[in-house]
Structure formats: C-alpha cells, structure tokens
Structure 1
Amino acid sequence: MPYLVLAIAFIVSAALSAVAYFVVETPYNPALLMLATLIACTSIIALFLSRILDRQYKLRDQLLLKNEQQRLLIAHSSSALLLLDDKLNIEFINTHHASFQKMKTSNYSEASLTKIWQDNIPEETRLHVEQAIFDKREWRGELRFGRSQNNEYLATTITPILDERGQLSRVAIRAEDISEHKAIEDRLFIRENYNVLTGLPNRHFALRALHTSIHDQSDIDKGFILIHIDLDRIRFINDSLGHQVVDKIFIETTERLRRSVSDDQVLTHLGADEFLIILNPECCTNEAEILAETLLDRCREPFYINHNEINLSASIGLCKYPEDGSDAPLLMRRAEAAMFSAKEKGGDRFSFYEEGMSSETELRLEMENQLRHAIDRNELNLYFQPVIHLQSNTLRGVEVLLRWQNANLNNPGPDQFIPVAEQSGLIVGIGKWVLENACKQIVSWSKSGLPQLTVAINISAKQFTDGDIVENVRYALQQSGLPAAQLELEITEGLLINDTPEIRDTFAQLKNLGVHLSLDDFGTGYASLSYLKRYPFDTLKIDRSFVHDIDSCNDSVTLTNAIIAMGHSFNMTVIAEGVENLNQRRILRERHCDMIQGFLYSPPLPAEQFVSWATRYAEMQRTQHV
C-alpha cells in the first residue's frame, strides 16, 4: 500500500511537472521548474494520501477491535448463540459454549436444526418450534435434551429474521443452560410438596389435590370421601422414648397405609402424626367404612423398634363431598373434627362428620391463631395470688397466674387456652414471656418498698422437652436482677413420667442456678415416692381437690396429713392450695402445713391491685393479731 501511494503521487507529480515544462512560460530554467514542481506535488499528494491512508488504518483497527470484542463477548456469553440460513443450516455458532455439549453433535457446520435436535428433543416440542419458524414468529420456551432421567434444559429464544420482501432470511437462536436451576426448582418443589421423613405428599399438596378433586367432580355431579387419620398417644411415646423412635413409627405407619390404599387414592402426610386419604369417587360409604376398619387394624399391629414393642391405635374421621363441605379447607377441617370426635370417645375408632362437630375444632383453631399474636398485641396479663406463711401469718410470696384478654374470644380462661398453647407449642414462647415479666415485677415491687417475695411460676412439660428452660431462666434472672433464691418453678407430675437422663440433667442445672423447684398438684397425677427421692424438689404443693372438703371429710384430712408428713420427711416446704375458710386454715395449721394460698386471703389480682392488697394486709398485721 505505501508503494501504491508513492506511485500515484509520482505519476500525478510528473504530469504536473510536464505541464510546467512544456506549457507554462517562465523566466526560470524550465528543467529546474519541472523538478521543483515534481518534488512539491509529490510531497503534497503523498502527504494528503498518507493522511487518508492513516485514517483508513485507524478505522480498520477500530473495526478489528470491535470484532475482537464482539468475538470475546459472544465466546464468553452466558447464552449459546446460533445463526441459521433459510434452510436451517448453521452459519455461525459460538462453538466453545458449554451449552452446545448438550446437543451431542460434532460437526456444527454441516448440521441442521432438525439434525441436532431430532434425537434429543421430544417430537411435540420440535413440531412447535418448526411451526413457529414457518409462521415467521418468535418462539420462547424450555428445551429438554435427552430422554433419560438426567435431562438437560436450555431456556431458548428462536427469532426468524426477514428480508426486505418479508421472506425468511435467517434464524437467530439464543439458548441458556438452566439445568441447575431446574434441579433446584425440582428440589424446592419436593420440599414444598412432600414430607421429608415419609416421602408422602404434605398438607400443601393435599389442599391442591382436594381442589383438583372438587373441580373434577363438580362437572359430573359426583362426590368423594375424605379420611383423616391421627395416631393416638404418640406424644407420650415421644416423651418417653424420644423423637427418633417416633420418626420410625411414622415411617412404618406410612408403609402400612400405602399397602392399604389403591393407586388411584391419594395418601398424604399432613405433619406429625396426621395422615389424609382422598378416596376416588367410585368408593361408596360402605367401602370407606371397610377401609377405615382396615386402617385401624394396621395401626393396632405392634411396632418393634429398638427392641421395644410399641402398641398404638388411631382415631379416624371421615367426611363427604359435597354433603359436608364445598371447598378444600372446610372439608379438611370437618374431617379433622370427625377425627377429634372419635378421639374424645376413647380413640381406636372411626367417626363420620355430623353437623356441629366442627364448632369445637374451629374454635380451637381460631384460639390458636389469636394466641400466636397475643404477646405482640399486649393481650397477656400476669395475675398474682398471695402465699401466706401459716404460723406467722405473713406474706411470703406470690404465685403467678396467666390471663388472656381477647375480646374476640370472650377472654378465654387458662383452662381453655393453656391446653391449646401446649398442643401447638406456643407455650414455649409464652412461658419465656411469663418468666421474664414476672421476675421484673418482683424486682420492681422490692424497689418500691414491698417485702422481698418469692415468685412461683408454672412451667409446662413442653418447656422442658421443646424449649431451653435453663437458658430462659438464666436470662430472666440476669435481665431482671432477681436473686435466684426468690424464683420458684412449679412443675406438674405429668413431666415425671418421662424419667429420662436429659430431664434429670435439666433439674440439676436449674438447681445449680440457685432457683427453687416445686412439685405442683401433688396426689392427682403420676408421681410416686421414688420421684420425690430422685428429683431435688424444695416445695410440695397439696392440690386443692384435697383441701376443699378437708373441713367435712375425714379421708381428706387423713390424706392431707400424710402428704404434709411425707413432704417434711423429705425436708420440703408444704403449701396447700385452695384454702377458702378459717376452718380449713385451722386444720392445716394443726397439721403443721407451712404455707397456704386461696380465696380466704385473696383471689389472683393484677399487679396494681396486688400492691394495694399487700399494703392493706401489712397494715392489718401491724394493728391486730389474727
């Protein structure tokens, strides 16, 4: 190229020099003028042409740079790119892209779209793609490569490119590997719709299946039956043998249920010990009853786990569509209500839904939903009942009782909402709230001038098994500043049947914190003398059922006297609950009961009223002797 420029410049310069020599008349030497013209013209033209050439070089370099950049972008693009001609032969492809390894072809230049995909993509999908190209419209979708279980997926966009006449000129294809995303999506689907332990569809899947069944049957005016299965007494197995044994029971129960239902019946695991079966429309009421009896028999068969023979039963509820409900959630609630009815009759039986059964179940569900927000809505209140030292008649402590102010449910009592809180597991969070606020209240009273009081707080068995009771107590003491010796934890006898090393270790840790432990409602549950010896209780509380007729029944006097003597023999402080009159107080004092509480002195009071009562009681003690 430089030689060409010089040649052009020399020819043009020579022509101009010849003109100057032969045509132009000048006083100067014609030869010198020609030479000067030649040199000048050659230089000017060469300079001009070199500038043009330089600009062209720069444009070329820029184009080369852009081409290289585009090549690098295409080569390292997250998408695989193809350009096909109007015959679907490949004109361009970024062959190094990993997605093309899934197409299983070695000669891209000679392959056609159909050739590449005919052995990998399902025929239905291929036809859709080819029809879109024929119709000159863009196609977007997922292409699945392979016919085995290990499929690969490409998110693909196929765009026809038309010429000026509107005819197909080329086809541009962009594809991106989404195999990993699909795998994650599949795992999420399984996690969302299946129970990890048993592999059965879960509650979410059951609701969708119910919706589908209702939709399918509504068009042909046919119904079906729903079966809700709940294993009886599974909580006691969990408390005594542990959740690992219970998990094996669930797995074995799943296999037994699978063997009992047909392939066209939907078996799901709602969670915990609850299962649901959606029967096919051809299954009549008599067949459903026979199946329910079969399921009961399957659940009665002994479970042999870790050298333990475990015998269980089940409660089964059945409801019918559309007689008992027209939507999925209502049907599930009514099948559950029928199950609860069977359980209330002793379990190990089945029951069909009847009108009115669901009211109690729905009330329980509503109570559970409301209770979940009780702390956030400031609906929980602490009430305090005084504990009186019987010999000195002085105020020594309080028992904390929980009240729930909820206008929507007419302020349910503890006997209503505490069982719901325990069954739902909400008692763990509520119990933590009670601990922290009760300790703060006692410290606040001490600072305001009230005597140092012990505070007795009821602890649920759930807080031992499902919550970190030791850490919760430690935190409550640290946050409030309450001395550990002023905190007394009341534990019911029901916890003691789960006599495990873990529970005994928890008791030991609580004693190491310095708190006192009280055995509540003694004589009404499962406790025995061995438990009193085994666990480090400081206080024994006589249940009110022994106290309420102590002034009229000699047997109650004898039992109460024995409990007091037994408590003292274990160096325990004995407290009698439910004292309502002076005669009961006298009898307990004669039997050397240490402390009493009850309506004789005061019902449970909110914090502000308790301060007023304690102030009046202290004034009364100073002015008279009772």
Structure 2
Amino acid sequence: MAMLLLCTAFSISAGLAALGFVLAGSGQHPAVLALGCFTFSISGFFLFACYKINLLRDQLQQSETRKRYLDQLLQHSGSALILVNRDMKIEYLNRLHESLLRLDPDPNEWINNAKRWPEVISEEAHASINQNLLQGRPWKGELQLSFRDRHEFVKASITPIMDDAGQLDKVIVCYDDISEQKAMTNRLFIREHYNVLTGLPNRQYIIRDLEKQIETLKDAEGRFFLLHVDLDRVRYINETLGHSVLDRVFRETADRLRACVREEYLLAHLGSDEFMVMLSNDVCADEATILAEGILERIRQPFYIDNHEINITTSIGVSQYPDNGDDAATLMRRAEAAMFEAKNGGGNRFCFYQTGMSGFVERRLEIENQLRHAIERDEFKLHYQPVVDLQNNQLRGVEVLLRWHNNELRNPRPDTFIKIAEESGLIVDIGSWVLERACQQIMEWRNSGLPELSVAVNISARQFIEGDIVERVASALKRSGLPAHQLELEITEGLLINDAPTIREIFSALKNLGVRVSLDDFGTGYASLSYLKRYPFDVLKIDRSFVHDINESEDSVTLVNAIIAMAHSFNMKVIAEGVENLQQRRILRERQCDMVQGYLYSPPLNADNFADWVKRYSDIHQAQHV
C-alpha cells in the first residue's frame, strides 16, 4: 500500500512539474506565468511528500522489525516475563516461555485470572511483596504456588515501576520454575535426613534439632529429656528369620512408637534397632517416666509377621538437658549409657542417667577395640571343667571355657566380653578359634596317654547362623583328627526364640557330621517344650540357678526332677551344672541325673593343670575313694 501511494505521488508530482514548466515557459500573461509557478510548486510538494512517505515507510519497517526482534528476544528469555499495570491487567507476557507453560498450558488463564494470583501464594509472602512494591522496592525470593491439585515452586523477581508522582504504575514479574530442582533437593534432603526403612528422621536430623533446641534454651532456664530406645535380642530374629522379617519388625516398631509419642515430640530412627525421642521443652520427669513405661508396654505386645509370633522387649535410657550435658553429643552419649545400664539389668526396663554410667559405654568401646586384636596377640586361653558320670564317677568329658588375659583392661570377665563379642560380630572368628583349639587339645591329651574325653564347646546364636558353622566344624575335626562323636556343641535357648527352617537344616547337617548337640542353660531362656521334640538334641544341661538351692528347696527339687524326666523321655542325657556339695550330688543321683559338673570336682583349669587333675582323679577313682 505504501509503495502504491509512493508511486502515485511521484507520478502526480512529475506530471505537475512538466505542466508547470510548459506554462511558465510558453505564456507571457502574468496569470499563466503564476499558474505555471504554482503548478511547479505543487509538484515540489508532491516530491517532498514522496520523500516523507518513503522515510515513514522505512521507519515503520524498522519499528516492526525491532518489535519482532524484541518479541522473539523476550519469548526466548531465560525467565518468564510479565508486565502488569496497576489494575492487575497483564500488558505483556512471553506466553510461550516453558516456565509459563508448565504452570498453566493456556497462558490466557494468566491474563484472565491475574487478579487471583495472590490466592496461590501464602498470605505472608503476599504481604511482603505488597509492602516492598508500595515502597518502590523490588522483591526477590522463592514462592510456593499452591494450585488445586498440586504445588509448584518459582524463583521470582518482582520490580515496581513508579509514575512521576511516585505512585505504583506497573509491575514487572520475572520468574523461573524451580519445581524440579526443588523436588530433587527435597529427595536429597529426605535421603540424607530420614531413615528409608521407617520414614522417621535419622541420626543427622535429630542431632541438628538437638543443637537448635539447645541453642534456643542456652540463655533460658528450660529443660528437656532425651530417650534412647533399643530393642532387646533382635539379633535372634535376624539369625533365625532373616533380614526381611527383621525389617518389618523395625517398621512396626516405628508405628508403635508413633502411637506413643505426642506430636510435638521428635521421634527418630538412629539405625538398626535404635530409636530416639526428644521431648519438648519443660516436660517434667514424671511425663518422661510415663512415656518410657508406655513404650515398654507397647513393645512387649507380640509381633505377628508371616505366621510367626515374635516376642521382644526394649531397653530405654533417659538423659536430661542441661543436668546431664549441654551439647547434643554428650546428651546422646549419656542417654545411650543409661540404655546400656537398663539392658545390663536384664532389659525390658528404663533408666535415668546417673553419674558414672558413661564410663561403661567408654569401657565397652575399649573392650570391643581390644577384642579385635586378641587372637593375633595370643591373649585368649582355654580353661576346662570336668564332666563326671554320676552312676560310676568316671570322667566323661570337659566343657571348654574361654578366658581373656588383657592387662590393659584387667582381664575382663567372660560374661562381659563375650556379650560384646556377640553384639559386635567378633564372636564368629573368636568362636572358630575356640573350636579348633579345643579339638586340638583333646587330641594332644589323648596322644599323651589321657583317657578318651568328649569336649563341649559353646556356640553362640550369631556364630551358629552367620559363621558357616557346619563348614567350620568339619574343618576343625579334619585338622585335629578328633572323632566327630567326641565333639559336643552347646547352644542356648535364645537361638530357638524364632523357629525357622534354616535352623533345622543346620541341625540336620551337624548331625550328619556325627557331632552331638546339647541345649545349654535349659529353663532360663525362651524355648518351648515343643523344641525338644522338633530338634535332635543329644544332651540337656540344667542351669546352675536350679541346682544351687536344690538341697534347701523342695520346689527346686520338683523342678529338677521334672526336667530330668522330660529329657529322658526324649532320649536325652542330662548334665547338671554348678554342683558344689555332696548333698546336691546325692539328690541329683537319686533323680537319675546322668552327669554333673561344678566346683565339687574342680573349677575350670588351664590345659596343664587339667592334665594333672585328671591323673590325680584317676588315681583316686581307681582307689575307690570317691
């Protein structure tokens, strides 16, 4: 159109110029001359108009080009851009930007609903933005946009444009959709600060909150309690029923703890069988006691998983801020020390921290560290206690007992270091060493002329499951040359707390090797009488706790008599432990107990002293003085 107008103007201008030139040059009459000059002027005007039209056309083309380029530039901007006037009407937006499309595929919705934008952000954020804009200051930050069916996150910069009077005229909104980055950050945070199995906050999370709580109360007089909750005997579940069942126990434990713990308390899963509860500020000791008792009661209830009834208990340690520590690490360590005190008292109880308890935890760690090097340092020694036949007083065998000679720790007692060895997993290698050394010793005595003896070796539940016990027993027999029937493996009732096919398979494999299996400390653990029928035990050992007062208590006599009769009905031999006087021996003999061991005959002796004792006992027995 502009080109057509330009051509027309140029043609008219050229025609008028020619006419004016003819009139001005051919006529002498003034009017004709004036007409010619006027015509010529008109042609000049048209020529000027042609120039201006051409210039305007160029400017329009350049303006359209710049506008197109600017629009393309804004459309491909790194951020979504929106220009809003004071009436909340959108004057511009780069409607094809991916951040804009992600929030709403139809950009027209943003135009139609601009006045409703404040509805999708929090009141606090809306107030902060308004305050900045009205004062002519930009606002920058992250916003959560809450839609009907989802939440989105944007990083926004909102800049006001003021008019000459200093009033808000327009607003430029520049934002980027950071929903994916936020989701990834949240996933990483959850992975780092929450336990994947139970969904509870983990150790790092509770340490962080502990530090915040302490910082808040540092200059105040507030106090709070920390509970360390540790399940008892869970290793038996793992060893008999496997990790999958144990994981379900942990998940159900988390659910039970949630039901006990108030919403304002923090419940965390430290890992494995350990949980922690941080009570809120100004909770009194009575409330902490009530919570601990409630947790004990809730955990005592049976767990029913895959047709298994699982019964466990828990031990709880309680520490208090600031009396027991003014930093997170100390409070957690002392709550753990109190928990160990509860566990050492038999479990299924709770203890408040008292001065000196933390020393036990530190000593426990030192014992574990020293245990790791005990075999290579040759610190373990085996002691042997004789087992005597009650009917003819003949020496039948020995029970092997482990002693640890460590001067730095002042020779820890077996009931201390063996428990730590089991909990840390070190018992697998230690037990294997005991097994091999005991078999070798029996063969050395046999070669030196001592009578043929059976040897009983204690096998822990963890060693039984995790230590490839069948292969290790076979190796010990082969390396020593000891006949299989002379080896007796003693296990405790704790192994049988959860009956499982794996346990029965291992029993069958051991029986196929030809070794004997005995049930140690019968009556003190968790075994049911049905296990005596289900498992091929050869020997049942009566715990010393039933024997020590047998000469004074009729109830003890009745109980021992029942145990002996039951074992014999299953074709098991019976050994009574802890026999210390002749009256106890007489009662056991009258009740048809098969064998005994205890201080009446001899305390546990090292290898050399035991060999001397055997020779003396043989001489006495032959002389019929016993």
TM range (shorter): 0.5 to 0.7
The residue that corresponds to 2:459 in the other structure is 459
Within the candidate set 177, 180, 188, 1:149 is matched to 180
Counterpart of 1:577, as a letter, is E
Deviates more, 1:430-439 or 1:345-354: 345-354
> In structure 1, what is the Cα distance between the partners aligned to 2:573 and 2:495?
20
> In structure 2, what is the Cα distance between the partners aligned to 1:373 and 1:211?
37
DSSP 3-state at the match of 2:439: helix
The residue that corresponds to 2:318 in the other structure is 318
Residue 506 in structure 1 maps to residue 537 in structure 2: no
The residue that corresponds to 1:92 in the other structure is none
DSSP 3-state at the match of 1:149: helix
Q: Would you say the 8 A contact 1:396–1:454 is kept in 2?
A: yes
Deviation at 1:580, TM superposition (A): 3.4
The residue that corresponds to 2:124 in the other structure is none
The residue that corresponds to 2:395 in the other structure is 395
> In structure 2, what is the Cα distance between the partners aligned to 1:445 and 1:201?
58
Please give the per-residue CA displacement for 1:492-528, whole angstroms capped at 9, x wherever unaligned: 3343443332222211111001101123234555556
The residue that corresponds to 2:534 in the other structure is 534
> In structure 2, what is the Cα distance between the partners aligned to 1:565 and 1:349?
35
Measured at CA, do residues 622 and 420 of structure 1 come closer, stay the same or move farther in structure 2, by a change above 3 Å?
Answer: same
Please give the per-residue CA displacement for 1:20-64, whole angstroms capped at 9, x wherever unaligned: xxxxxxxxxxxxxxxxxxxxxxxxxxxxxxxxxxxxxxxxxxxxx
The residue that corresponds to 1:407 in the other structure is 407
Listed as ranges, the gaps of 5+ residues in structure 2 are 1-72, 81-96, 99-139, 142-175
Counterpart of 2:544, as a letter, is R
> In structure 2, what is the Cα distance between the partners aligned to 1:360 and 1:278?
23
> In structure 1, what is the Cα distance between the partners aligned to 2:346 and 2:613?
46
Q: Would you say the 8 A contact 1:319–1:335 is kept in 2?
A: yes
Larger radius of gyration: 2
Please give the per-residue CA displacement for 1:98-152, whole angstroms capped at 9, x wherever unaligned: xxxxxxxxxxxxx9xx9879999xx99xxxxxxxxxxxxxxxxxxxx99453699
The residue that corresponds to 2:149 in the other structure is none
Alignment of structure 1 residues 113-128 onto 2, 5 Å: none
Deviation at 1:423, TM superposition (A): 4.0
The residue that corresponds to 1:247 in the other structure is 247
TM-score for the superposition, normalised by structure 2: 0.60
DSSP 3-state at the match of 1:579: coil
How many percent identity over aligned positions? Answer: 62
DSSP 3-state at the match of 1:318: strand
Measured at CA, do residues 434 and 267 of structure 1 come closer, stay the same or move farther in structure 2, by a change above 3 Å?
Answer: same
Q: Would you say the 8 A contact 2:442–2:482 is kept in 1?
A: yes
How many pairs align? 468
Measured at CA, do residues 449 and 192 of structure 1 come closer, stay the same or move farther in structure 2, by a change above 3 Å?
Answer: farther
Deviation at 1:260, TM superposition (A): 7.4
Alignment of structure 1 residues 604-615 onto 2, 5 Å: 604-615=604-615
Counterpart of 1:230, as a letter, is D
Please give the per-residue CA displacement for 1:536-570, whole angstroms capped at 9, x wherever unaligned: 22223344345445556666566555555554444
Alignment of structure 1 residues 4-43 onto 2, 5 Å: none
Residue 441 in structure 1 maps to residue 441 in structure 2: yes
DSSP 3-state at the match of 1:477: helix
Q: Would you say the 8 A contact 2:236–2:461 is kept in 1?
A: no
> In structure 1, what is the Cα distance between the partners aligned to 2:538 and 2:309?
37
Alignment of structure 1 residues 184-223 onto 2, 5 Å: 195-203=195-203, 206-207=206-207, 210=210, 214=214, 218=218
Deviation at 1:383, TM superposition (A): 0.3
Measured at CA, do residues 202 and 589 of structure 1 come closer, stay the same or move farther in structure 2, by a change above 3 Å?
Answer: same
> In structure 2, what is the Cα distance between the partners aligned to 1:306 and 1:222?
46
Measured at CA, do residues 297 and 566 of structure 1 come closer, stay the same or move farther in structure 2, by a change above 3 Å?
Answer: closer
Measured at CA, do residues 193 and 599 of structure 1 come closer, stay the same or move farther in structure 2, by a change above 3 Å?
Answer: same
> In structure 2, what is the Cα distance between the partners aligned to 1:529 and 1:348?
24
Please give the per-residue CA displacement for 1:444-477, whole angstroms capped at 9, x wherever unaligned: 3233333332111122233334443222222222
Deviates more, 1:439-448 or 1:422-431: 422-431
Alignment of structure 1 residues 307-346 onto 2, 5 Å: 316-339=316-339
Residue 480 in structure 1 maps to residue 511 in structure 2: no
Listed as ranges, the gaps of 5+ residues in structure 1 are 1-110, 125-144, 153-181
The residue that corresponds to 2:228 in the other structure is 228
Deviation at 1:381, TM superposition (A): 1.6
Deviates more, 1:450-459 or 1:615-624: 615-624
> In structure 2, what is the Cα distance between the partners aligned to 1:115 and 1:312?
63
Deviation at 1:485, TM superposition (A): 1.4
Measured at CA, do residues 148 and 443 of structure 1 come closer, stay the same or move farther in structure 2, by a change above 3 Å?
Answer: farther
Counterpart of 2:605, as a letter, is L
Deviates more, 1:299-308 or 1:472-481: 299-308
Deviates more, 1:355-364 or 1:592-601: 355-364
DSSP 3-state at the match of 1:275: strand
Deviation at 1:425, TM superposition (A): 3.8
Residue 378 in structure 1 maps to residue 378 in structure 2: yes
Measured at CA, do residues 327 and 445 of structure 1 come closer, stay the same or move farther in structure 2, by a change above 3 Å?
Answer: farther
Q: CA RMSD in A?
A: 4.8
> In structure 1, what is the Cα distance between the partners aligned to 2:525 and 2:252?
32
The residue that corresponds to 1:580 in the other structure is 580
Q: Would you say the 8 A contact 1:245–1:305 is kept in 2?
A: yes
DSSP 3-state at the match of 1:226: strand
Q: Would you say the 8 A contact 1:228–1:274 is kept in 2?
A: yes
DSSP 3-state at the match of 2:537: coil
Q: Would you say the 8 A contact 1:333–1:362 is kept in 2?
A: no
Q: Would you say the 8 A contact 2:236–2:497 is kept in 1?
A: no
Q: Would you say the 8 A contact 2:236–2:495 is kept in 1?
A: no
Counterpart of 1:398, as a letter, is V
Counterpart of 1:517, as a letter, is V
Deviation at 1:377, TM superposition (A): 3.6
Measured at CA, do residues 455 and 344 of structure 1 come closer, stay the same or move farther in structure 2, by a change above 3 Å?
Answer: closer
Measured at CA, do residues 556 and 296 of structure 1 come closer, stay the same or move farther in structure 2, by a change above 3 Å?
Answer: closer
DSSP 3-state at the match of 2:575: strand
The residue that corresponds to 1:270 in the other structure is 270
> In structure 1, what is the Cα distance between the partners aligned to 2:459 and 2:422?
11
> In structure 2, what is the Cα distance between the partners aligned to 1:238 and 1:251?
14
Q: Would you say the 8 A contact 1:341–1:351 is kept in 2?
A: yes
Please give the per-residue CA displacement for 1:585-625, whole angstroms capped at 9, x wherever unaligned: 55555665443332233211011222222233345556666
Counterpart of 1:400, as a letter, is V
TM-score for the superposition, normalised by structure 1: 0.60
> In structure 2, what is the Cα distance between the partners aligned to 1:476 and 1:301?
42
Deviates more, 1:384-393 or 1:454-463: 384-393
The residue that corresponds to 1:418 in the other structure is 418
Please give the per-residue CA displacement for 1:350-374, whole angstroms capped at 9, x wherever unaligned: 6543445545555545444444443
DSSP 3-state at the match of 2:180: coil
Counterpart of 1:488, as a letter, is E
Counterpart of 1:536, as a letter, is P
Measured at CA, do residues 553 and 197 of structure 1 come closer, stay the same or move farther in structure 2, by a change above 3 Å?
Answer: closer
The residue that corresponds to 1:106 in the other structure is none
Counterpart of 2:244, as a letter, is Q
Please give the per-residue CA displacement for 1:375-409, whole angstroms capped at 9, x wherever unaligned: 34433221011223445544332110111223344
> In structure 2, what is the Cα distance between the partners aligned to 1:474 and 1:260?
49
Counterpart of 2:180, as a letter, is Q
DSSP 3-state at the match of 1:472: helix
> In structure 1, what is the Cα distance between the partners aligned to 2:547 and 2:351?
40
> In structure 1, what is the Cα distance between the partners aligned to 2:292 and 2:571?
54
Q: Would you say the 8 A contact 1:268–1:275 is kept in 2?
A: yes
The residue that corresponds to 1:519 in the other structure is 519
The residue that corresponds to 2:617 in the other structure is 617
Measured at CA, do residues 295 and 592 of structure 1 come closer, stay the same or move farther in structure 2, by a change above 3 Å?
Answer: closer
> In structure 1, what is the Cα distance between the partners aligned to 2:401 and 2:260?
48
Q: Would you say the 8 A contact 2:198–2:250 is kept in 1?
A: yes
> In structure 2, what is the Cα distance between the partners aligned to 1:296 and 1:549?
33
Residue 596 in structure 1 maps to residue 593 in structure 2: no
Counterpart of 1:227, as a letter, is L
The residue that corresponds to 1:171 in the other structure is none
The residue that corresponds to 2:428 in the other structure is 428
Please give the per-residue CA displacement for 1:284-314, whole angstroms capped at 9, x wherever unaligned: 7687678768867876888665467878775
Q: Would you say the 8 A contact 2:324–2:334 is kept in 1?
A: yes
Measured at CA, do residues 443 and 209 of structure 1 come closer, stay the same or move farther in structure 2, by a change above 3 Å?
Answer: farther
> In structure 1, what is the Cα distance between the partners aligned to 2:528 and 2:264?
52
